[in-house]
Structure 1
Amino acid sequence: MAHKKKPEVSVVIVSHNSQVMLPLCLEALRQQVEVSLEQVIVDSGSTDTRYLNRLQKRYPFRLIKIDNIGYARANNMGYKALTSQSEIVIFLNPDVVLPYDYCRKLQKGMAADLSSAVVSGMLVGFDANRRRPSQYLDSTGVFRSWYGRWYDRDQGRRVADVKRSRQYLPAVCGAVFACRRTALEADNGLVFDPDFFLYKEDIELSLRLRERGWSLLFDPHLIAYHARGWQKKRSEVSWLLRKIAAQSEVILYRKHPSPYMVWAMCKYLLVRWAGV
């Protein structure tokens, strides 16, 4: 009798009204070659979850339904629900599409650099309406400006115009956060800080891992496609989301003390009281 192959990579996805992109995300996971996967989806307060029940008949994932408890807490719940001891855990946004060989390349990257807790790559934009990659980059790593603002490097630049080499990063975009499990063991299941409801939890985890002596590796041969709406003008983003983002930045610098707190507080006050 043939034995089912043990999962080599575990994937945690937090969904919230993700019925447009989640089917594409899951189909891409099913097409991963030479790597067996464990998949857990935590639905955090979707208004209608019937689409998840339909997807569960087609794709091999375990489903957890909860209220909208925030991205960090939902990811932690998904991590605790994993049953395999696979060395690689990917925290994956539902609006990300991975090429068929992504997990195989990720394994090789992890094996080649044992000092890295996270291996990241090129995030290219994805057109959800046309269901195909765009010509523009979403992120090649997260960096900090001289005054304290964190930003996605190369965001909005044409893919053809950007050439990057392997390097270590200050922080990693959480859309595809591929971690070495041993680097997460010190947190006893609280991978992402639950004080963050939304935004900046990926940067906080990046800083925490680096403080422990781990590296965050950027490998340009790893390419994934991300359909987030970064193309929106700031005026089109709701005041509530802008407030949450500014508040998360204050929390970040409270946990990792820095003179950049001045920038974070100014931004938060401007958003809260001036609606900027």
Structure 2
Amino acid sequence: MKIVVIIVTHNSQAVLGRCIAALEQQTVPPDAIALVDSGSEDTSYLQPYRSRANFTVSLQENIGFSRANNLGWQAVRQEAEAVLFLNPDAFPARNSLELACAFLVENQNVGGIGGRLLGFDSDNGQPTGLLDSTGVFRTWYGRWHDRDQGQIDNSQHSAREDVPAICGAFLVCRNKTLKQTALSAGAVFDPAFFLYKEDIELCLRLRKKSWQIVYLPEILVHHCRGWQSDRKAMPARLRVIAARNEVLLYRRHPSPYILWALLKYAAVRWLRV
């Protein structure tokens, strides 16, 4: 199975090298890697990849995560059977692509795969011992969240399972499902989502077309996640974007949960909670 990787960068010079090294050490290496930069202040760290085989590099203004991923997909979609959307601060274990491809070949009803995301401290260059995500779920009142985020890894949720959504830091999709569910010829992610919740929206679209979304705990991926679990460390502007996108998510996929999303947006936007 031909698998391609799309990585969107934004001032990612501190982590991209480790990410690319993890891809180069895969037991089943990717057939192509598309790097799309969305407004890095200094893009010189991307220059070495321009001359490397099977790499494409696209430099853009700060167009947002969704639009940048769409550009990457447009560059590689014709040659792919599977597509890995990968954050530059995510480092897959050596057999991650092999496991994902084998599972897709054996399970033709599966449209998307995620792995067991483990916390990683980029400053110290070592794992945190905490979980980052074992799938994305919705609470009873409507909040979407990464299950087990910030919890000590005690091997909880160590069985394969269908899940509502997968964290976009490591999301493998069957390419024909992306073509089937694309909003337009070149848009697999909704460009209205500048940042945050775009992965959930895509997964909901896939599920509406009867494709399964599966969490595979044997796929291990270390993920830095910037501000980690400390909400106070997340800039206010980004909190507003995240809250706005939760409202947008429920407009795209109508649900009574939009009432909670509107209350959250109001609290974040005007009360600065």
Does the C-alpha gap of structure 1 residues 24 and 208 become closer, same or farther in structure 2, counting only changes over 3 Å? Answer: same
Structure 1 stretch displaced more, 132-141 or 161-170: 161-170
Aligned match of 1:272:
269
Please, which of 48, 55, 66 is the counterpart of residue 54 of structure 1? 48
Distance in structure 1 (CA, Å) of the matches to 2:157 and 2:236: 36
Aligned match of 1:155:
149
Please, which of 160, 172, 179 is the counterpart of residue 178 of structure 1? 172
Does the C-alpha gap of structure 1 residues 55 and 132 become closer, same or farther in structure 2, counting only changes over 3 Å? Answer: farther
Please, which of 174, 182, 193 is the counterpart of residue 196 of structure 1? 193
Does 2:235 align with 1:255?
no
Structure 1 residue 115: deviation in Å? 0.7
Q: Give % identity.
A: 46
Runs of 4+ in structure 1 over 3 Å off: 54-60
Distance in structure 1 (CA, Å) of the matches to 2:77 and 2:255: 38
Distance in structure 2 (CA, Å) of the matches to 1:242 and 1:163: 29
Please, which of 207, 212, 215 is the counterpart of residue 210 of structure 1? 207
Structure 1 residue 59: deviation in Å? 7.2
- Indicate if the aligned counterparts of 1:26 and 1:59 stay in contact, CA closer than 8 A: no
Distance in structure 1 (CA, Å) of the matches to 2:145 and 2:196: 12
Aligned match of 1:223:
220
Give the secondary structure class of the aligned counterpart of 1:206. helix
Structure 1 residue 164: deviation in Å? 2.3
Structure 1 stretch displaced more, 83-92 or 116-125: 83-92
Distance in structure 2 (CA, Å) of the matches to 1:182 and 1:135: 36
- Indicate if the aligned counterparts of 2:162 and 2:214 stay in contact, CA closer than 8 A: yes
Does the C-alpha gap of structure 1 residues 230 and 137 become closer, same or farther in structure 2, counting only changes over 3 Å? Answer: farther
- Indicate if the aligned counterparts of 1:8 and 1:35 stay in contact, CA closer than 8 A: no
Give the secondary structure class of the aligned counterpart of 2:113. strand
Distance in structure 2 (CA, Å) of the matches to 1:202 and 1:215: 15
- Indicate if the aligned counterparts of 2:100 and 2:113 stay in contact, CA closer than 8 A: yes
Structure 1 residue 158: deviation in Å? 1.5
Which stretches in structure 1 are left out of the alignment for 5+ residues? 1-6
For 1:226, give the aligned amino acid: H
Question: Normalized against structure 1, the TM-score is what?
Answer: 0.94
Structure 1 residue 111: deviation in Å? 1.4
Question: Normalized against structure 2, the TM-score is what?
Answer: 0.95
For 1:205, give the aligned amino acid: L
Which stretches in structure 2 are left out of the alignment for 5+ residues? none
Does 2:160 align with 1:166?
yes
Aligned match of 1:90:
84
Q: CA RMSD in A?
A: 1.5
Distance in structure 1 (CA, Å) of the matches to 2:72 and 2:127: 28
Distance in structure 2 (CA, Å) of the matches to 1:129 and 1:59: 30
Distance in structure 2 (CA, Å) of the matches to 1:145 and 1:36: 36
Give the secondary structure class of the aligned counterpart of 1:159. coil
